[in-house]
Amino acid sequence: MNASKIAAILLILAAASAAWWVLGSSMHQRTQQSASDMGASVASSWGAPLTQNAPTFSVAVPGSDQVRWILPVENTVTVSLDADYRRKGLLWFPTYVCAFSGRYTVSNDEAVAQKLRFHFAFPTPDGTYDAFQMAINGTPYTQPLKIAEGVDEFVELQPGESAEVSVAYTTRGLGTWWYRPAPQTGRVQQLALTVNTNFRDVDYPESSLSPARAEDSAEGKTLTWQATDLITSASIGVVVPELLNPGPLTARIIFFAPFCLVFFFVLVAAINIVYRVNIHPMHYLFVAAGFFAFHLLLAYLADLVPIHGAFMISAAVSVFLVTTYLSAALKGAFPWKIAAAGQLLYLVLFSYSFFLEGLSGLTIAVGSVITLAILMRVTAHLNWEEVFAREAKHAARNTNPLAHTTPETTTD
């Protein structure tokens, strides 16, 4: 392989990389546009991230405009989060159904009767709430209400008397769910909060309180927060796991494509040397086009079919194109089985590693080491001086055709 061939191959690699950059940038832009347009649509039609504030109890201070905040002596909350994903364009959105139930007990420890003001705020002012129930000491709350303003009610307690307020509803949310203790009090007594999920891959937002227990259930996870007298400004949160998004995944695979092609070109060059197959730069060009076909198909099939199906179809087409072309163009002199195995490793396996969160780097590193080991093994017997001398002689013959002819003899 002389310098002119190497230069031509490098030019082909640069042109293919530029084409992949254009395709990857287009895919990234389509994904960003989908996230911008569809995200607002999903939030308006399905729901936004939910933050449920704990209800507050307060008593007016006689002779002033101030209030004194009353701590509930018992806070029992049960929540069910059922993931129900929605797909819009190139993105899956982690939507969920939330069933909330809370029971709060307050007591009057004073020697006189007190009139407590109870306030309950809904998670979002523009949300939709089904199966809403509220009761004070077992008496249902049936008054009209405005979601944006929440519920305001008064509870009269005699000395030593207690009252129980319960509230329940079902609504829909997106991404995260939060429960925030009342910031006015700064503490929570006898907290027992349980979250049941239909998914096991549970995560927690930054700066949130971790559960005391996280146990597997029949459908997912059961998360429990318990405290006797908790003093904190942190909130409790749960993150609904995201599904594999076709748009960002495909863009990452496309941007990595030049590295796959480099590995395959190294394999082809090794075959060129070991098997003494004359491989022209035009062959490299069509191989690069076969690789590009995989990413081109994947970019547009991802909109129409599930991502795994799109990946398998694109991979099968690309492997078929490259292996059949090399076998036909080089008239059987090229070991097509090695080419197929190389493409399955460098294109299919390397690309599929992006489906495995956190394992793509390891997969590529292992594949690189295996490639190095194979190349070292198959080229260990070569006499590199003879190889380069043969290439130099071949190049000289190509540049000077007269060197191949036998000089004519003349007679006087």
Instruction: Give one DSSP letter per residue of 201-227, joined into a string.
Output: --B--TTBPPPSEEEE-SSSEEEEEEE
* Per-residue pLDDT at 270: 79
Distance CA 58, CA 70 (A): 5
Per-residue model confidence (pLDDT) at position 272: 74
pLDDT at 411 (0 to 100):
42
What pLDDT is stored for residue 235 in this prediction? 92
Question: Is pLDDT above 90 for 169?
Answer: yes
- Cβ atoms of 124 and 50 closer than 8 Å: yes
> 47-239 has which CATH code?
2.60.40
Which residue carries 């927690």 as its tokens? 204
Which residues pair with residue 216 across a beta bridge? 221
Angle at the Cα of 299 from the Cα atoms of 352 and 281, rounded to 5 degrees? 80
Q: Find where tokens 């059987």 sit.
A: 332
pLDDT for res 36:
62
Query: Which pLDDT score is estimated for 11?
Result: 94
Question: What helix, strand, coil percent values describe the chain, rounded to 5?
Answer: 45, 30, 30
Residue 187 confidence (pLDDT): 87
Mean pLDDT of 58-70: 84
Q: What is the dihedral of CA 53, 131, 194, 151, to 10 degrees?
A: 20
The residue count of the chain comes to 412
| pLDDT tens-digit readout, 344-382 | 888 888 889 888 876 777 777 877 787 777 777 767 776
- What is the per-residue pLDDT for 211? 93
Is the confidence at residue 393, as pLDDT, over 80?
no
221-231 β-sheet, strand order: 139-140, 130-136, 162-174, 95-107, 74-83, 187-197, 221-231, 213-216
Q: What is the pLDDT of residue 144?
A: 87
Q: Phi first, then psi: what are they for 266, rounded to 5°?
A: -60, -40
What proportion of the chain, given as a percentage, has pLDDT over 90? 41
**Does pLDDT of 331 surpass 90?**
no
Distance CA 205, CA 222 (A): 17
The alpha-helical segments, DSSP class H, found in 157-306 are 246-274, 281-301
Q: What is the pLDDT of residue 396?
A: 57
DSSP string, 110-129: SSS-EEEEEEE--S-TT---
What are the pLDDT digits (tens) for 182-227? 888 888 999 999 999 999 999 999 889 989 999 999 889 999 999 9
Distance (Å, rounded) from C-alpha 120 to C-alpha 70? 14
pTM, rounded to two decimals: 0.73
Average pLDDT over residues 305-315: 91
Residue 42: pLDDT over 80: no
Distance CA 1, CA 10 (A): 13
Lowest mean pLDDT among 114-128, 265-279, 391-405: 391-405
Q: Are 101 and 168 contacting, i.e. CB atoms less than 8 angstroms apart?
A: yes
DSSP H or E segment with residue 67:
strand 67-70
Please tell me the predicted confidence (pLDDT) of residue 285. 92
Q: Do residues 164 and 196 lie in contact, with contact meaning Cβ atoms separated by under 8 Å?
A: no
Averaged pLDDT for residues 146-151: 91
Average pLDDT along the chain: 85
- Look at residue 383 in the predicted model and tell me its pLDDT: 66
Torsional class of 47: left (φ above 0), alpha (ψ -120 to 50), beta (otherwise): left
- Distance CA(112)–CA(160), nearest Å, equals 9
Q: If pLDDT is split at 50, 70 and 90, which confidence band does 407 have?
A: very low
HSE (side-chain half, CA atoms, 13 Å) at 164? 10
Mean pLDDT, to the nearest integer, of 103-116? 90
Nearest-angstrom CA–CA distance, 354 and 311: 12
Percent of the chain scored above 70 by pLDDT? 88
Return the pLDDT at 389.
64
Per-residue confidence (pLDDT) for residue 37, from 0 to 100: 61
The pLDDT value given to residue 79? 97
**Which tokens is 299 given?**
């970019």
Contact 286, 329 (CB under 8 A): yes
For residues 186 and 51, give the distance between their C-alpha atoms in angstroms, rounded to a whole number.
17
- All residues at 6 or more sequence positions from 78 whose CB lies less than 8 Å from its CB, including other chains: 100, 101, 102, 193, 194, 196
**88 DSSP β-pair partners:** 91
Over range 78-94, report the average pLDDT: 87
Of the pLDDT bands very low, low, confident and very high (cuts 50, 70, 90), residue 409 is very low
Mean pLDDT, rounded, for 296-318: 91
pLDDT of residue 399: 54
What are residue 128's phi and psi, to 5 degrees?
-120, 130
pLDDT value of position 127: 86
Look up residue 352 and give its two tokens: 């599929």
pLDDT at residue 412 in the model = 39
In the chain, CATH 2.60.40 covers 47-239
Q: DSSP state, 250?
A: H
More confident residue, 82 or 410: 82
Q: Let me know if 29 is exposed, middle or buried by CB neighbors in 10 A (0-12, 13-18, 19+).
A: exposed
Phi and psi torsions of 330, nearest 5°: -100, 15
